[in-house]
Structure 1
Amino acid sequence: MQKIVPNIWFDGTAAEAAEHYARVLPDTSGRVLMRYPEEGLPDFQKALAGQPLTAEIVVGESAEDGGCRIVLINAGPEFAPNESISFMLNFDPSRDPDAAATLEAVWAGLGDGGEVLAELDEYPFSPRYGWIRDRYGVTWQLILTHPDGEPRPFVIPSLLFCGAAQNRAKAAIAAYTSLFDDSGVGMIVDYSTATGAVRADSVMFGDFRLAGQWFTAVDSPEPRDFSFTCGVSLQVNCADQAEIDRCWEALSAVPEAEQCGWCADEFGLSWQIVPEEMGSLMASPEAYGAMLAMKKIVIADFPK
């Protein structure tokens, strides 16, 4: 099971988005995972009765690692994704002889109804790179990798430390890699000189593994008026209550953000600390209401 699963918040369009991504991204499937109960919803959610609660996509299913699972949360307009967390897509010519053409096709698909943040062009670090916001507000970085570079997965969640989290990428990497097994730092490149919003020791580019999964982190070179939100969160699938307790203790730093297994860490990043068997725990008609009453998830408090 994928230990850390990115979750993206959608304003009523999660199922539609899952179908869109399955068409646009290579070797990708999409499906509805769970629906809201028909009864017992709080007033602010009653209009969602019976509608999808979550959908999922699995990107790059033909890859050796089985692809990357991303959950799409179907809710309201309370939160929206922004550039603080994007998804880097690595098009590797050593794995796909038509990588450049595949990149162009995905760029066109994601760009349909979207907005370009960095033009698809040649850059010093890649012969083909671009950054785009799609029609749902999700941001993607597409890069043609060097054939002789160190292999990386097709999808890598990318953290942009800006706003309240400016210049904290290095501290975050150290904190996160100390928490999970099978974790470590890949490459860290500093800016070397202070410029714009960064210090000389800020991170120009860094990548790291958490529970065997790759992430990247960057300190924004320019001031930005946003940072991490619940628009994109990281779900940690825990083996038992002891692991839930340990992760919650390490990651929850904002008491007012604690709700239904959600918490925010000292950098503002949102996490969902949940049991691996969350699906079966939610099978009971009373489970949704029980979950709404929780801050940290307590497995024993779910109805049997």
Structure 2
Amino acid sequence: MNRGIVVTGGGHGIGKQICLDFIQAGDRVCFIDIDEKKSVDFAEENPNLFYFYGDVADPLTLKRFIEFSLEAGIEGTVKQAIFSLNGQEYMCIDSYIKHEFTFTPAMSLYVTCDTREEIDRLFEKLSEGGNILMPLGSYPFSERFGWVNDKYGVSWQLTFEK
């Protein structure tokens, strides 16, 4: 295809496979990763890869990576992020493959509210333009609970306990 593609986190795992998929399609790929050893080894194996070492969380590094990518003739992006909360690691990926689906309620953001007013306010706002999966009410497992997909399709489960 001869496109120029940018991939963050492209030195290993899913990011590496994304790079390989684009290379096999005939594209040039520029990737950034914080694992220098794996990334250098990977880049040396593939002549259509441009590697930039750094952490995209650092604004200056990100700016330099963008400049580097533009100089390499790159115009597309695939975003990938790994972060941790309370010791649990999470990964987010912007797929480069077109899918017929969007979000699924199988993955929800679960919010424990401090007051009845807070849960009522959040549920009302999140319901605007969205889809209520379980109305706000009392359930055997929660004094006040509601489950809604917001207008963007993101699933939210809200709960309040005294």
| TM-score under structure 1 length normalisation | 0.24
Max Rg structure: 2
- Give the structure with the higher percent helix: 2
